[in-house]
A = this chain, B = another copy of it.
């Protein structure tokens, strides 16, 4: 595979490591970099270094931020009595896109998964429990609706309930705009179970 000169090969390899990028796309990207102005390439390299340098976890919720606390934890207009628990910063961002949620977040940075050997102590569950003193009324569990996500949600629910705090999870059901015909059985089953009266 060593078709290109070593430093081009190294660049291709780096792009190849990115999620969803095959060898051919990596080659295209490497040649894009070789084709742009030096300043453009430097801006790219610096963006990587700067982001790695500046970004760390919010001291309260664990979301990624460049300050001590993230924008949401700092915001007095948000309802700090409702904590939405997600496994990943991208999930918090997805909920933010709805522009409806007014509470705060807690980012676990992972889910409990025996296959990948991630246990409860490897994700930010302890940090969540430490937050439950300060007038928290509700914990919304918003992990993915798959086996590790469900396991994690159930595990956390059991720990939070003794605090006398309401524990909820996101609704499962059909996607908006989807077709009943093409909805998988598990989802349809959940949609039936959780049916609501008009």
A residues sitting closer than 8 Å to B (CB atoms) are: 3-8, 10-11, 13-14, 17-21, 25, 27-34, 38, 40-52, 54-55, 64-66, 70-71, 88-90, 93, 96-97
Partner of A33, one of B3, B10, B48: B48
Pairwise interchain contact A38-B52, C-beta atoms closer than 8 A: yes
Pairwise interchain contact A49-B55, C-beta atoms closer than 8 A: no
Chain B residue numbers with a CB within 8 Å of A41 are 48-49, 51-52
Measured CA separation A36–B39 after assembly (Å): 25
Contacts known (A19-B28, A45-B46, A48-B45); A93 close to B4, Cβ less than 8 A: yes
State how many copies of this chain the complex holds.
2
Partner of A49, one of B17, B34, B42, B93: B42
Pairwise interchain contact A55-B34, C-beta atoms closer than 8 A: yes
Chain B residue numbers with a CB within 8 Å of A18 are 29, 32
**6 tightest A-B CB contacts, nearest first:** A45-B45, A11-B51, A45-B48, A41-B52, A14-B47, A11-B47
Chain B residue numbers with a CB within 8 Å of A31 are 88-90
Measured CA separation A88–B14 after assembly (Å): 22
Measured CA separation A38–B14 after assembly (Å): 14
Chain B residue numbers with a CB within 8 Å of A4 are 64, 93
Chain B residue numbers with a CB within 8 Å of A97 are 3
Listed A/B pairs (13) with beta-carbon separation below 8 Å: A5-B55, A7-B47, A7-B51, A7-B54, A7-B66, A8-B55, A8-B64, A11-B48, A17-B44, A27-B90, A31-B89, A41-B48, A45-B45
